[in-house]
């Protein structure tokens, strides 16, 4: 199955991809794949847990449950705008029912984090630079950072807070960023340019070259976590731009913020007592599937809508996985609202047999 190059117009024909900002859609296009599958081949099986988000681009799919046909899905129809059987494990088997199909395959975790990033991170980064000069920074560093081990240590709910506290710093070629032996003060992400890492030894005061770092690479966390001295020098090889996060914020944000979680049974009790379901996904996702009686405020609108939300009520925020809803609940709780997160989101609820 050879991957084909992706057109942005194709990605925009699906939900919730149509809600992504252009620069983030470009980044996602580089990580997604358009593939083909022939007649009678199986796309996925009931019970699979492959963590791929799949869209039908063209052709016909037959969905079966316990060996019986439950639906026929045709590419290009309104029904095909949404992911195919997204609940994990898969509730259906999907078999090609035409000569061939074309389908779009995206890593589900990457898509979910990208949606969260799109509605939090890029907005905050734009706010951080009061001069408004962010156009010279490539969006690739965002995608790269999302997939680094250092970033994955940070709980999803903290994405919002991290970008509220990050600072942009510009450096010139040859300028020192970190000096060996100094106290740790910041965690750094390279947005633009290159750095060199060297370590001084008793036999080599000029420093032994350890690594060369580029866009999306991170450094500085070891000294912050261990409260130790800096164990290397980091110097700019080119002019560049770094984002940095202070030591105390870094430590705090490595731990789950004070959020209240509720599984579906607990959430249902809260709703019965007067709490309100708060769907923080995009409108197109909400229209496709949502919990009855709730309200829809997309994550990226949350700040703008704070004045319209009733502070007397409690809210149970939800999305597909819990990532975007935890970011939304963090915003609400920091501003004095009573907010809970539906643990695991809609996927966990459906996995456990709740409708």
Q: Among all chains, which residue has been given the structure tokens 């639906």?
A: 71
CA distances to 151, 160, 185, 191, 280 from 221, in Å: 11, 19, 9, 17, 32
Rounded to 10 degrees, the C-alpha dihedral 180/184/190/195 comes to 0
Q: Could you say which DSSP state residue 80 is in?
A: G
Find, among 320, 329, 265, the residue nearest to 289 by Cα.
320
Active site residue 195: no
CA 174 to CA 18: how far, in whole Å? 43
The enclosing H or E element of 324 equals: helix 323-334
Contact 186, 244 (CB under 8 A): yes
Q: Which of 34, 84, 314, 319 is catalytic?
A: 319
Find, among 261, 260, 346, 276, the residue nearest to 311 by Cα.
276
Q: Among all chains, which residue has been given the structure tokens 């197109």?
A: 284
- Please name the residues in contact with 324: beta carbons below 8 A apart, sequence gap of 6 or more: 112, 115, 116, 119, 280, 281, 299
Q: What is the DSSP string of 209-274?
A: EEEEE-TT-EE-HHHHHHTPBP-SEEEESSSEEEEEEEHHHHHHHTS--S-EEE-HHHHHHHHHTT
What does the block give as tokens for 21? 């900002």
Contact 294, 268 (CB under 8 A): no
CA 77 to CA 60: how far, in whole Å? 11
Find, among 45, 52, 43, the residue nearest to 75 by Cα.
43
Catalytic residues: 319
């Amino acid at each position: 199955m050879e991957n084909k190059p992706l057109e942005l117009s194709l990605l925009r024909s699906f939900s919730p991809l149509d809600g992504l900002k252009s620069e983030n859609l470009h980044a996602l296009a580089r990580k997604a794949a358009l593939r083909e599958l022939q007649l009678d081949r199986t796309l996925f099986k009931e019970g699979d847990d492959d963590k791929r988000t799949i869209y039908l681009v063209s052709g016909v799919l037959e969905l079966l449950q316990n060996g019986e046909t439950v639906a026929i899905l045709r590419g290009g129809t309104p029904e095909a705008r949404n992911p195919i059987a997204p609940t994990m494990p898969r509730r259906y088997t999907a078999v090609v029912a035409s000569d061939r199909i074309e389908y779009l395959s995206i890593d589900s975790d990457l898509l979910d984090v990208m949606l969260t990033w799109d509605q939090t991170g890029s907005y905050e980064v734009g706010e951080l630079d009061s001069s408004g000069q962010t156009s010279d920074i490539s969006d690739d560093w965002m995608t790269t950072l999302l997939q680094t081990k250092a970033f994955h240590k940070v709980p999803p709910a903290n994405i919002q807070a991290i970008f509220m506290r990050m600072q942009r710093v510009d450096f010139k070629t040859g300028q020192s960023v970190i000096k060996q032996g100094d106290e740790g003060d910041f965690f750094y992400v390279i947005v633009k340019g290159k750095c060199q890492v060297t370590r001084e030894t008793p036999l080599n005061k000029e420093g032994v070259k350890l690594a060369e770092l580029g866009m999306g690479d991170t450094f500085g966390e070891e000294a912050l976590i261990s409260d130790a001295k800096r164990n290397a020098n980091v110097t700019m090889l080119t002019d560049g731009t770094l984002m940095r996060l202070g030591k105390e914020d870094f430590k705090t944000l490595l731990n789950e913020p004070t959020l209240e979680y509720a599984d579906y049974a607990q959430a249902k009790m809260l709703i019965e007592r007067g709490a309100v379901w708060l769907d923080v996904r995009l409108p197109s996702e909400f229209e496709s599937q949502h919990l009855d009686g709730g309200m829809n405020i997309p994550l990226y609108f949350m700040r703008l809508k704070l004045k319209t939300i009733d502070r007397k009520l409690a809210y149970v925020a939800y999305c597909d996985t819990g990532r975007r809803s935890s970011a939304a609940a963090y915003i609400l709780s920091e501003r004095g609202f009573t907010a809970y997160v539906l643990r695991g989101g809609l996927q966990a609820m459906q996995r456990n047999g709740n409708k």
